[in-house]
Amino acid sequence: MKTQSFVIKNKVGLHARPAAVLVQAANKFKSEIKLEKDGNEVSAKSILGVLSLGAEKGTVVVVTANGVDEEEALKTIEELVNNNFGDPE
Amino acid sequence: MNTMNGVGVSKGIAIGAARVYYKEKIEVNSGKDSVSPQDKEAILEESLKKTKEEIESNYESLKKTNQQEAEIFEAHLLILEDPTLQEKIKENIKSGYNLAYAVKSAFDGFVETLKNLQSDYMKERAQDLLDILDSLLRNILNKPKVDLSKLPANSILVAEDLTPSDTATLDRKNVLGFITEKGGPTSHTAILAEALGIPAVVGVKALLENVDNGDEIILDGTQGGVYINADDDIKGRYEHLKKEIEENDRLLREKAKEFSYTKSGKRIEVVANIGSPKDVDNALEMGAEGVGLYRTEFLFLDRDTPPTEDEQFEAYKVVAERFKPYPIIIRTLDIGGDKQISYLNLEHELNPFLGVRAIRLCLKETELFKTQLRAILKASAYGNILIMYPMIAIKEEIIEANKVINEVREELRSKNVTFDENIKVGIMVEIPSAALNAEELVDYVDFFSIGTNDLTQYTFASDRTNENLSYLYRPLDSPVLKLIKLTVDASHMKGKWTGVCGELAGDPEAIPILVNLGVDELSMSPSKIPEAKRIIRTL
């Protein structure tokens, strides 16, 4: 099991499009992937779960991946966060 | 006559006949029934499939013209197939509830959660959920949707609320505009209206009580006004205004195809910032006389290995060919710092904006740099290409980068590959040290292009992505203008030229100032070109 925390940097936070990008990426991995914010834990493969976190710009999200490809999964998510999920800002 | 007001969310004026759209509310009771869970799941399966097809068809119909807005429906698909949601529905089915309620109550839980979130933007997403729920329930209960794709010509659609899927199915030829009682400026519906160019006003209180089918409606999407059966006076005024707007648009577009000269006769080149070959059509349509900034980062992002030389060559060649004989300025890779790429294994830095990015990175990763330069030089045989280095701070960096170019040139010559032997090479001026020392740097380049966004942030030592520091984002204050002037003057002294490719270049307020400082070329997002040319002609 691997855990890493991230700060959401894009302007509007994990809204519909970035959340969709994240879920689509998470779905490619076999590992179970969870996101946690302020004690709420959701599956990264559920867009409703991700949206319900209400993760706005500047919030810290803890990502836990558990499974055969956990390392790859975390790396991919790190890249998405760093590239603002493809948002221009 | 009756006048009402709301929020204009998509500008323009529409005059037409009201088509009032009553959406029948779907009533769901919370009773249990004796249908077996297996039968319910079969109906659910079938209804999910139908709903999925509907969403996909909305996606397809938008994709061609509005890729970004079409992605809303990609998110809808993910919601429809959300595992947490499906689980909840199945749980409800097991508890014996009727299928419609099992579905509705599963959705309602998430709708509540979203409505309780802090940001208005997130709250609006509850509407997306209700849209999907509505489609799914109609399929479960066999209640057809009103078909909004078959409205008569000259319709103004009047509704309590429109969902994104309603908006996407509208026939754009026959629907001139729409008005809703509910909805806000950040709803997906408002975003879609603007993207489709349909004038719209939302949030008009008591709208449905005051409008009947067939009423003549004037809708002012700029001011947010709605006039029902307006008197001749107002109608005349709006017809006139509408003509004027249409005429202005037409003229602006027509004139945008021509070069723009100031009153004193100086031509200002107006060119486009583009991020990929996909942007070329729009840039040409808007009247771009070339490309002032071709960002090449798109080739490098979202992948596991660097793009090959051939891949890059194709992406540069196609743009050069389309714009020929106009110039296109290709900026070499501007990455590193805050934009990470896994396959480059960049070191984590404390101050990414001041770190190993752009030319600093390319001079360290010379293979990466050489591959790009080879692709650019090869493409230069097919059009009018210029090369531009980003983030130059001192002359040694230009000398070093030119050395790499010369190596690549030698290599191509020895292989008898044709390329433009006289290719022009310039730099971005976005670091104060470069502007302050432009007089010396000018001897090593063919042109300057000022990146005002970064120049401003480095001048005021203020991270432009930090909202708390927005008061320090002052590109039109004298410190930045002085640096621009130094750069322009240095280039003119040696018979060279200076362009501006930052956000300032397309800003109507900034254009007169930049032209006055002697800037020769302005590069901006394509949509800003027609207005920029109009302004230049008045100076």
Task: Record the tokens describing residue B397, joined without a space.
Answer: 């960096």
Q: Do B75 and A82 touch (CB under 8 A)?
A: no
Q: Is the pLDDT of residue A89 over 70?
A: no
Helix (H) or strand (E) holding B227: strand B225-228
Q: Tell me if A63 is assigned to some domain.
A: yes
- Rounded to 10°, the helix B478-493/B452-459 angle is 120
Residues of B in contact with A19 (CB under 8 A): 75
Residue B326: what pLDDT? 96
Chain B's closest residue to A10, CA to CA, is B465
Residue B373: what pLDDT? 98
Please state which of the ranges B96-110, B147-161, B406-420, B425-439 shows the lowest mean pLDDT.
Answer: B147-161
User: What is the pTM for the complete model shown?
Assistant: 0.60
Q: Taking residues A58-74, what's their average pLDDT?
A: 92
Q: Tell me if A46 is assigned to some domain.
A: yes
Q: Is the pLDDT of residue B402 over 90?
A: yes
Q: Is the dihedral of CA B172, B174, B176, B182 positive or negative?
A: negative
Alpha carbon distance B534, B171 (integer Å): 33
Q: Taking residues B164-184, what's their average pLDDT?
A: 84
Nearest to B82 among A16, A47, A82 (CB): A47
Residue from A9, A52, A80 whose CB has the most chain B CBs within 10 Å, to mutate? A52
Question: A56 and B107 in contact (C-beta within 8 Å)?
Answer: no
Alpha carbon distance B159, B466 (integer Å): 40
Could you tell me where the DSSP H helices lie in B257-279?
none
pLDDT, one tens digit per residue, over B246-283 is 888 888 888 888 999 999 999 999 999 998 888 898 89
Alpha carbon distance B323, B286 (integer Å): 13
Q: Tell me if A89 is assigned to some domain.
A: no
Q: Tell me if A60 is assigned to some domain.
A: yes
Residue B192: what pLDDT? 76
Q: Is the pLDDT of residue B340 over 70?
A: no
The minimum CA-CA distance between B82 and chain A, rounded to whole Å, is 5
Q: Tell me if A17 is assigned to some domain.
A: yes
The minimum CA-CA distance between A61 and chain B, rounded to whole Å, is 16
Question: B257 and B37 in contact (C-beta within 8 Å)?
Answer: no
Alpha carbon distance B296, B274 (integer Å): 9
Task: Record the tokens describing residue B93, joined without a space.
Answer: 């089915």
Total domains present in chain A: 1
Instruction: Return the residue matching tokens 């302004």.
Output: B535
Using CA atoms, how far residue B334 sits from B151, B304, B497, in Å, is 49, 18, 22
Question: B524 and B532 in contact (C-beta within 8 Å)?
Answer: yes
Alpha carbon distance B120, B117 (integer Å): 8
Q: Tell me if A72 is assigned to some domain.
A: yes
Residue A42, φ and ψ in degrees, nearest 5: -135, 165
Residue B337: what pLDDT? 62
Q: Tell me if A16 is assigned to some domain.
A: yes
Tell me if the bond preceding B325 is cis, omega within 30° of 0: yes
- Rounded to 10°, the helix B366-379/B309-323 angle is 40
* Chain B contacts to A (CB-CB under 8 A): 71-72, 74-75, 78-79, 82-85, 110, 113-114, 117-119, 121-122, 125, 128-129, 188, 301-302, 338-342, 465, 467
Using CA atoms, how far residue B164 sits from B23, B71, B128, B190, B193, in Å, is 14, 11, 7, 9, 9
Complex-level ipTM: 0.89
Alpha carbon distance B273, B296 (integer Å): 11
Amino acid letter, B432: P
Task: Record the tokens describing residue A71, joined without a space.
Answer: 């390392």
Per annotation, catalytic residue among B76, B188, B240, B362: B188
Per annotation, catalytic residue among A2, A15, A57, A75: A15
User: Which residue in B376, B407, B497 sits closest to B445, CA to CA?
Assistant: B497
Using CA atoms, how far residue B166 sits from B104, B121, B137, B422, in Å, is 20, 20, 16, 56
- Rounded to 10°, the helix B232-256/B529-538 angle is 90
Q: Tell me if A10 is assigned to some domain.
A: yes
Q: Is B202 helix (H, G, I), strand (E, B) or coil?
A: strand
Q: Is the pLDDT of residue B65 over 80?
A: no
Q: Taking residues B123-142, what's their average pLDDT?
A: 89
Q: Do A54 and B122 touch (CB under 8 A)?
A: yes
Question: B227 and B179 in contact (C-beta within 8 Å)?
Answer: no
pLDDT, one tens digit per residue, over B490-527 is 999 999 999 999 889 999 999 999 999 999 999 998 88
Range of the domain at A56: 2-84
The minimum CA-CA distance between B129 and chain A, rounded to whole Å, is 9
Q: Is the pLDDT of residue B35 over 80?
A: yes
Alpha carbon distance B488, B441 (integer Å): 12
What is the longest distance spanned by two Cα atoms in chain A? Answer: 33
Q: Which long-range contacts (CB under 8 A, 24 or more apart) does B58-64 make?
A: B58/B164, B58/B165, B58/B168, B58/B169, B61/B168, B61/B169, B62/B168, B62/B192
Tell me, what CATH number does A11's domain have?
3.30.1340.10
Using CA atoms, how far residue B49 sits from B56, B97, B350, in Å, is 11, 21, 50
Dihedral over alpha carbons B49, B53, B58, B63 (to 10 degrees): 120
Question: A35 and A63 in contact (C-beta within 8 Å)?
Answer: yes
